[in-house]
């Protein structure tokens, strides 16, 4: 089974470009809201880092999600897309002064603080404005995730978060500061996680920490468990929507929320990955000594995931129904890592055929670069091509 694409509409567009199926995005957002709203106190934010295309942000904001940002630029993108300031959370190990000031000026919901020096600077900058910043501490829970090493974040060896053993010290420190208010704890263990056991391990760790805090009479208003829910890269047509039920149910069953506590999520990939495809045209079919190459006009400047994480993306020739042949699908960039897939079967491919590189709505367009002086890819939604 292949995905369905409006080829006649593609003819006037310069390739490569991202194509977003807004019907699927809407259905995904509905599934998130349906499942999360079954549980009291669950609040879902969208991790803007996955895709900040303003057209995509609009749909997500309209569905009522909050925004999880990791830079001043993302806070600006969230505000511009109409996310309300009290639904913006801001994390990151290295927040610059202007970025903190931007968050303060816009009274964002919460800064997720990752170190003591950062806490001190937020207190100082808030003091200069006569404000009190709401802060949560990002703790490093030392919980592994069964995913690619480059995208695990919650191990003691990673640069993220504050060590658990320092938890009480930093909360105590914050309580003595005039211009910060401690409101919560934040965690994030990694990305593309499909084993609910990993999220359970995080829940168990948070339960332990909460008990520990209660013995010191410390109350936490908000718990933020980050994002990380993975998607099915192998079967974008058969499994277009991640299992949000299993995900939220895991937290509902395993995390012991205290009365009145809210539980925040920061989902990125699971929201947008499946609705996007990178559309590229075949430039040449080159028959090498041992294999044949489909050389396409997209490169790792448009989609870096295969080169950076050896990520798999399903590729379909959406112009041809001819019998299958085996190809390496490669881009035009002058680096040997510029390969989208090796030895895959595609319908016999000819110059000019459109290929769809699937499940690229997350960490695709947003990670594009201008290396080789290449132009950045455009992003179009199915709605606007109607």
Helix and strand totals (H; E) in the chain: 11, 17
CB of 135 to ligand LLP, least distance (A): 15
Residue 213 · residue 184 · CB < 8 Å? no
Give the pairing type, strands 315-317 and 354-357. Answer: antiparallel
Q: Which of residues 28-57 bind ligand LLP (CB under 6 A)?
A: 47, 49-50
Q: What angle do CA 215, 121, 80 make, to 5 degrees?
A: 100
**Residue 165 φ then ψ, to 5°:** -65, -20
Q: Should residue 90 be labelled a site residue for ligand LLP when binding is judged by CB under 6 A? A: no
Q: Which of residues 361-380 bind ligand LLP (CB under 6 A)?
A: 363
Nearest Cα residue to 16 out of 278, 284, 276: 278
Residue 195 · residue 146 · CB < 8 Å? yes
* E-state strands within the chain: 17-20, 42-47, 66-69, 88-90, 110-113, 133-140, 162-163, 180-186, 222-224, 262-267, 276-287, 292-296, 315-317, 324-330, 339-347, 354-357, 378-381
> Among residues 177 and 357, whose Cβ is nearest to ligand LLP?
357
Residue 193 · residue 199 · CB < 8 Å? yes
CB of 138 to ligand LLP, least distance (A): 7
Residue 189 · residue 143 · CB < 8 Å? yes
> Among residues 49 and 87, whose Cβ is nearest to ligand LLP?
49
Looking at 143, 151, 255, 341, which residue binds ligand LLP (CB under 6 A)?
Answer: 151
Q: Should residue 232 be labelled a site residue for ligand LLP when binding is judged by CB under 6 A? A: no
Please report the sign of the dihedral spanned by the C-alpha atoms of residue 71, residue 76, residue 77, residue 83: positive
Q: Should residue 243 be labelled a site residue for ligand LLP when binding is judged by CB under 6 A? A: no
Contact letters (x/-) for ligand LLP, 258-287, by CB under 6 A? --------xxxxx-----------------
> Among residues 268 and 379, whose Cβ is nearest to ligand LLP?
268
> Among residues 265 and 327, whose Cβ is nearest to ligand LLP?
265
Which residue shows structure tokens 């959406």?
318
Q: Should residue 139 be labelled a site residue for ligand LLP when binding is judged by CB under 6 A? A: no
Q: Should residue 68 be labelled a site residue for ligand LLP when binding is judged by CB under 6 A? A: yes
> Among residues 119 and 151, whose Cβ is nearest to ligand LLP?
151
**Residue 123 φ then ψ, to 5°:** -60, -45
What is the radius of gyration, based on Cα positions, of the chain? 22
Q: Which of residues 287-306 bind ligand LLP (CB under 6 A)?
A: 305
Residue 340 · residue 282 · CB < 8 Å? no
CB of 90 to ligand LLP, least distance (A): 10
Contact segment (CB under 6 A) with ligand LLP among 120-128, 225-233, 318-326, 330-338 equals 225-233
> Among residues 43 and 132, whose Cβ is nearest to ligand LLP?
43
CB of 139 to ligand LLP, least distance (A): 12
CB of 92 to ligand LLP, least distance (A): 8
CB of 219 to ligand LLP, least distance (A): 23
Looking at 115, 152, 191, 349, which residue binds ligand LLP (CB under 6 A)?
Answer: 191
Residue 20 · residue 56 · CB < 8 Å? yes
CB of 155 to ligand LLP, least distance (A): 13
Q: Should residue 95 be labelled a site residue for ligand LLP when binding is judged by CB under 6 A? A: no
Q: Should residue 331 be labelled a site residue for ligand LLP when binding is judged by CB under 6 A? A: no
Q: Should residue 179 be labelled a site residue for ligand LLP when binding is judged by CB under 6 A? A: no
Contact segment (CB under 6 A) with ligand LLP among 20-28, 220-228, 246-254, 286-294 equals 220-228
Core vs surface per residue 153-172: b (16+ CB within 10 A) or e: bbbeeeebbbebebbeebbe
> Among residues 227 and 240, whose Cβ is nearest to ligand LLP?
227
Which residue shows structure tokens 């501490």?
137
Residue 89 · residue 66 · CB < 8 Å? yes
> Among residues 192 and 282, whose Cβ is nearest to ligand LLP?
192
CA distance 18 to 382: 10
Residue 285 · residue 351 · CB < 8 Å? yes
Site residues (CB under 6 A) for ligand LLP? Answer: 47, 49-50, 68, 91, 151, 153, 188, 191-192, 226-229, 266-270, 305, 309, 363
């Amino acid at each position: 089974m292949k995905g369905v694409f409006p080829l006649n509409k593609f003819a006037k567009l310069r390739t490569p470009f991202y194509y977003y199926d807004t019907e699927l995005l809407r259905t995904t957002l509905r599934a998130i809201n349906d499942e999360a709203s079954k549980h009291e106190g669950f609040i879902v934010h969208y991790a803007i880092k996955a895709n900040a295309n303003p057209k995509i942000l609009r749909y997500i904001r309209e569905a009522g999600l909050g925004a999880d940002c990791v830079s001043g630029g993302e806070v600006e993108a969230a505000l511009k897309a109409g996310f309300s300031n009290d639904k913006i959370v801001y994390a990151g190990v290295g927040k610059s002064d202007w970025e903190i000031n931007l968050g303060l000026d816009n009274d964002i919901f919460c800064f997720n603080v990752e170190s003591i020096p950062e806490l001190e600077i937020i207190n100082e900058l808030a003091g200069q404005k006569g404000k009190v910043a709401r802060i949560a501490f990002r703790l490093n829970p030392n919980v592994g995730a069964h995913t690619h090493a480059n995208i695990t974040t919650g191990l003691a060896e990673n640069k993220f978060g504050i060590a658990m053993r320092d938890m009480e010290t930093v909360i105590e420190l914050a309580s003595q500061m005039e211009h910060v208010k401690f409101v919560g704890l934040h965690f994030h263990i990694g990305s593309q996680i499909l084993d609910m056991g990993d999220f359970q391990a995080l829940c168990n760790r948070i339960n332990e920490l909460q008990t520990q805090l209660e013995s010191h009479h410390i109350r936490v208003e908000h718990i933020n468990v980050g994002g990380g829910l993975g998607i099915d890269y192998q079967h974008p047509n058969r499994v277009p929507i991640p299992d949000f039920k299993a995900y939220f149910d895991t937290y509902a069953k395993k995390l012991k929320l205290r009365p009145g506590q809210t539980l925040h999520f920061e989902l990125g990939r699971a929201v947008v990955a499946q609705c996007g495809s990178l559309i590229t045209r075949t430039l040449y079919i080159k028959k090498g000594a041992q294999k044949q190459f489909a050389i396409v006009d997209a490169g790792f400047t448009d989609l870096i995931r295969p080169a950076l994480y050896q990520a798999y993306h399903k590729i379909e020739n959406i112009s041809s129904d001819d019998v299958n042949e085996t190809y390496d699908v490669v881009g035009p960039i002058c680096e040997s890592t510029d390969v989208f897939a090796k030895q895959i079967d595609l319908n016999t491919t000819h110059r000019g055929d459109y290929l769809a590189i699937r499940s690229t709505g997350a960490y695709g367009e947003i990670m594009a670069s201008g290396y080789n002086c290449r132009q950045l890819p455009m992003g179009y939604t199915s709605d606007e091509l109607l």
